[in-house]
Structure formats: structure tokens, C-alpha cells
Structure 1
Amino acid sequence: MRALLVVNPAATTTSARTRDVLSHALASDLKLEVATTEYRGHARDLARKAAEDGQTELVIALGGDGTVNEIVNGLLHHGPDPTALPRLAVVPGGSTNVFARALGLPNDVVEATGALLHALRERSERTVGLGLAAGVPGTEDSEVPARWFTFCAGYGFDAGVIGRVEQHREQGKRSTHPLYVRQVLRQFLNEPHRRRGTIALERPGEETVEDLVLATVCNTAPWTYLGNRPLYAVPGTSFDTGLDLLGLARLTLTSATRYGTQLLTSTPDRGPHGKHAVSLHDLTDFTLHSQVPLPLQMDGDHLGLRTSVQFTGVRRALRVIV
């Protein structure tokens, strides 16, 4: 099997030694080419070329969720075609590795490499659904390119947190869980719309849900991890169904404390809930509009400000080695 290993050397737990050990282990079973990313978007470009060359059968990501997202967007540049596109495999090398862990893969590089080799020998794979976000026709964001995401997207509050974290990373700080916690607190203190949100959720044939402060879109469960603790925004979310959504219409100190506690104690069967919480399951098409530009993130990557975003859940979009 011809394979491409894409390595992000800037990922939190990735090193040259990790790359060498992994490539040596994989080379015994695969016709392996190794490429190291050199700029933002490079993994996407490499994956697109692999999808277009007609010879590469497998693309392996060594990096974090951002690297995986870029590779997925490269593979699906011309749209989903699970039977024709190269398969995807992931060896976690980031700080959180939500996509890999949601697939049931070990969060340790050595263990994940062993699991990948075993899956390749057993020809073990699954086809997963993905989310797609695009600009809304007729709005100022209509020309924004569509982008795929693997495990989550966020509009409003959590995207603002991601933006703050990225600013610190650009200053040379490492992406750690304490850094995220500090930025959550700062985002809360500086959130101008936490008492009355500006987001409206529109679905075909349904009433509009208005005045949301944030909207978190999930493609799998858990939503993310705090250290080794899984956090479930919408329990029951699955790679095998459409998209799920958690919306919050108020983030006062009292409600934020309550929802934060519910999130920290969430389980596969129970997530944040209450008077100002909206949970929706298995959505295929919906649109989020805001009265003011709000930050948007996908798979932990801050994408700037948007006034509207159209979401689509695409079932059985990509084959993954597991």
C-alpha cells in the first residue's frame, strides 16, 4: 500500500525522534513517503495532491487536530467519495487529539502506532460522517470557502476562547489546558452579549431559535477533553449520524457556573441542560446568523469573524483506519 505520512513538527507532542520512530515502523508495512509541513495549510496541500495523484491509498497524520483538519480538507477538496479517496489514519501528536480519541485510538504515540499497524494488517476501517460549513448565499460571507470539520465547530463564545489561545501561541506559549481555562475566564469577563445573545438558528420547516450567546456544533462525542476528562456537550453525538448542536441563550455568572459544572460532570448520557439551553440532535442542514460579527472556529482553529454560517452534516464522507 502506498502511503503518505504528513508530519507537523510544530505540534505539541511531536518531535523529530517521534517522526523517525513512526516512519521506521510504518515503512516495513507500507511504501511510505514522509512530508513535513512548512506553513499553515501545507498539510491540506499535501493531502490534496495525494488525493489527486490516483496512486496514494493512505494518508497518515502525525500532529494535532489542526493537522487532521487540514488533511481532511485536502482529501475532500473535490467532495466526498469514500470508495475512491485515500483512507485517513491518525497518530496523535497534539495537546488534545479529540478526533483520534473519539475514534477510540490511544493518546500515546507509541501505542497509537501499534494500533495503526494492527489495524492495517487486519484491514480494519470505518467510514465516518463529517461536518461542512460554508458562507450563506446573499450575505456578506457568501464568498467564504466551504470548510470541513471532523469533530466540532463553534460560533460565538467558545470560538472567542480559541482566538485568545491562538494569540498566546503566536507569542510562543504552548497550548496547555491551564491556558485554555484562563482564556475561558477572560472571554467570559469580556463577553458583551452574554445576557442577551445575537445568534439565530434557522432550520428548514422549523421555528427560528433566537438570542443565543453561543452555538456549539458537534460531530462526535465527547466534544473535547480537559486533561483526561471527556466533556460531553450533546450526549449521543456520533460519527454515524448528522450534526448535534448545543446553544445557550444566557451566560450570566450564575448560569455560566451551572452550565460549566454540568459540562465538567457530563457523561455519555447527560450534558448541559436547563431553561436557557437548547440541545438538538441529528441535524442535516441549518444556518446560524448573528446581528453582529462573531468568531467562528472549526476543530480548534480560529477562522475569524462571521455574520452567518451554513452547516451541513454529511454522512459516510471518509474512510478512516481504526
Structure 2
Amino acid sequence: MEAARRFESIVIIFNPNSTGDAPELAEQLKGRLAELLSYPVEIRLQPTEHAGHAVDLAREAASGGGRVLVVSVSGDGGYNEVVNGVMQSGNSDAVCAVMAAGNANDHRRTVGTKPLEEAIAEGRVRHIDLLRIDTGAGEESGGAYAHSYIGFGLTPVVAVDLEKGSKGSMKEMLTVVRTFSKFEPFEIKHEGGKRRKLDSLIFANIPEMAKYATLSEADEQPRDGKFEVILFPHMSKWRILLLAARAATKGLGDQPSVSRYEFTTLDPMPYQIDGEVKSVSANTAVRIRSVPRALATIG
């Protein structure tokens, strides 16, 4: 951890059409920071206008250089956009933070240490690892960063159906049950041509996911240059349910940790990255790697 940081500007990014209370929380944060900070600083509210806009806003905020703090008032998906925008800016002095205003808020719940406005006033910046996924030819082709996890198989399929349906614990549960009953396994190919049929493959930078599941016994502060690989080989659905119940109660226990993982898709498939669903084509090389201490953060 470095010396206390004084910021030259603070940009608070939020979705004005959020189904939650993001606009109100953003206004409250701005007011509290104006009261708490002991030095003059520009604090600007920046609403998004469409999906993906937070990437552009965060990149623009950080591209000017200097000690800028970019805060995402959102859930995991909105924060993912802000992190990617700041990483694209190339500004090594830029810092990211998130105020929870989403559904799961896995990253904030797991990594947060104190109320955000207090942490910003104290100015204690720390660096944590990111995950990076590259798809296709070349190390930098189709690359994106994840602050928490990247999931293939059951995870993104459920996420797609949740987005089509309604929020709320009972409705979410019914959607998960319906999707699970129709779910089919997927196949990937590892180096040397070995094929594996799987139900789920998750690369986790934090030990918790989807509000309830404990994936591993990893350190809650991801800064060891590795990530956990949680792999479910294809099995009967009742056995998957038992594993899910274990994750929601006792946790899955120790999982293998690596700094890099590679495979090739055999069919087009979706994947989930910090709550956002994307897709990758068939016969595509996929590379997941840890980027040690890449993200300067606060909170």
C-alpha cells in the first residue's frame, strides 16, 4: 500500500436508468466527498447513455493523465466496464473504485474494507490482480479484463435467462431451475488435442460469486498473481445440485490455482465476465491469465 493519495479529479459514473438506486447513491457520494475531503478537488457526476458507455467515459476520464479517481456506482458488470476503460487509458496514476448498486455486487462485498467515502478521504490506494481473457490469434487479440471471474458453461447460460426474465429472489430461483433442467454440457480442447466435456468452468479472482456461492478458500484480496480454476466435469444433474448446495453452504474448499489457462472452443459458446455475458466463436483459442497488481483501487 502506498502513501495516502490526494486526487486531482473524481469522476462518478452511474446509470441514470438503473432499476436500483444508482442515481441517488451517486448524488449522495458526491455530497459526502465534498464534506469529507480536506483538499480542493473537482467531483463530477457522469451518467451513462447506453450499454458499454461506461468504458468510453472511464477511458476519457483517465486519458488526460494525473491522479484521477473513477468511481462506478453499479454492480459487477458496470464496474467491469469502468475497469476496462481505465486500463485502456494507459494512465498508471488512475485509480478505480466501486459503490455497490447492483444485484450481486460480488466484488464490492468480497474486496471492500470500509465505507467508500471514508476510504477515499483516507486516500489509501492498494493494487490487486486482474484477469485477462484473449480470444483468437495473437496475445492481444480480443482482450478484456475481469476484476472478479470469467465463467463458461452453466454460469452464462443462467445469466442470459435471468436477463430475459425478472429480478427478485423467487423469480430468479424459478428461472435458474428452468434453465438448469434444459442445460447441455459443452466440450473444449486442451493442448495436445485432449477433449473434455464439462458442465461448468470458472476462473475466479475472488472466492465468492452470485451472492451466495463460495468457490474457493482463496485470499479475498487478489494479489498473488494467480487465480482459481473451478471445473465441473459433465455429471448427472443431481450431482451438480449437490455441488451447488455445497458452494452455498460450506463452500467448495481448496481449488487449483494457476497464472494461466488455455483451451480451444469446439462450438460457439457464451461466457460470463463479471456479470456481463459475451460470446466466442467455434474453433477459437482462449487464453486466461492473471495480470498481477494491475488495478489501483480504493475502498
CA distance in 2, matches of 1:221, 1:12: 27
Matched with 2:20 is 13
Indicate the SS of the match to 1:198: strand
CA distance in 2, matches of 1:315, 1:192: 35
User: 68, 80, 84: which one pairs with 2:79?
Assistant: 68
CA distance in 2, matches of 1:32, 1:54: 16
Indicate the SS of the match to 2:267: strand
Whether contact under 8 Å (2:206, 2:219) holds in the other structure is yes
Matched with 1:219 is 205
CA distance in 1, matches of 2:171, 2:134: 30
C-alpha spacing 1:129/1:68, structure 2 compared with 1 (3 Å): same
User: 38, 58, 64: which one pairs with 1:53?
Assistant: 64
Indicate the SS of the match to 1:220: coil
Indicate the SS of the match to 1:20: helix
Indicate the SS of the match to 2:294: strand
Compute the RMSD of aligned alpha carbons.
Answer: 2.5
Answering whether residue 298 of structure 2 is matched by residue 314 of structure 1, we say no
Deviations 1:59-118 (A, max 9, x none): 111111111000000001156x6xx23111211111111111111356xxxxxxxx2232
- Give unmatched runs, 5+ long, in structure 1: 107-114, 274-278
Matched with 1:263 is 247
Query: Structure 1 residue 25: deviation in Å?
Result: 1.5
CA distance in 1, matches of 2:112, 2:48: 26
Matched with 1:240 is 223
Matched with 2:266 is 291
Matched with 2:146 is 149
Deviations 1:249-304 (A, max 9, x none): 1241321222122112134xx43x9xxxxx421x2221133322221110011103
Answering whether residue 97 of structure 2 is matched by residue 89 of structure 1, we say yes
User: 275, 296, 299: which one pairs with 1:300?
Assistant: 275
Whether contact under 8 Å (1:132, 1:311) holds in the other structure is yes
Deviations 1:20-69 (A, max 9, x none): 22221223424201100110111110110112111451111111111100
CA distance in 1, matches of 2:199, 2:188: 6
Matched with 2:158 is 161
Whether contact under 8 Å (1:161, 1:180) holds in the other structure is no
C-alpha spacing 1:236/1:41, structure 2 compared with 1 (3 Å): same
CA distance in 2, matches of 1:158, 1:143: 25
Letter in 2 for 1:164: D
TM-score norm. by structure 1 comes to 0.80
Answering whether residue 75 of structure 2 is matched by residue 77 of structure 1, we say no
Query: Structure 1 residue 160: deviation in Å?
Result: 0.7
CA distance in 2, matches of 1:300, 1:264: 18
Matched with 1:101 is 109
Matched with 2:131 is 131
C-alpha spacing 1:184/1:251, structure 2 compared with 1 (3 Å): farther
Matched with 1:26 is 33
TM-score norm. by structure 2 comes to 0.85
CA distance in 2, matches of 1:237, 1:176: 30
Whether contact under 8 Å (2:75, 2:105) holds in the other structure is yes
Alignment coverage as a number of residue pairs? 284
User: 236, 245, 252: which one pairs with 2:236?
Assistant: 252
CA distance in 1, matches of 2:215, 2:67: 36
Letter in 2 for 1:313: S
Indicate the SS of the match to 2:170: helix
Which deviates more, 305-314 or 90-99? 305-314
Query: Structure 1 residue 15: deviation in Å?
Result: 4.5
Indicate the SS of the match to 1:27: helix
CA distance in 2, matches of 1:121, 1:78: 24
Indicate the SS of the match to 1:288: strand
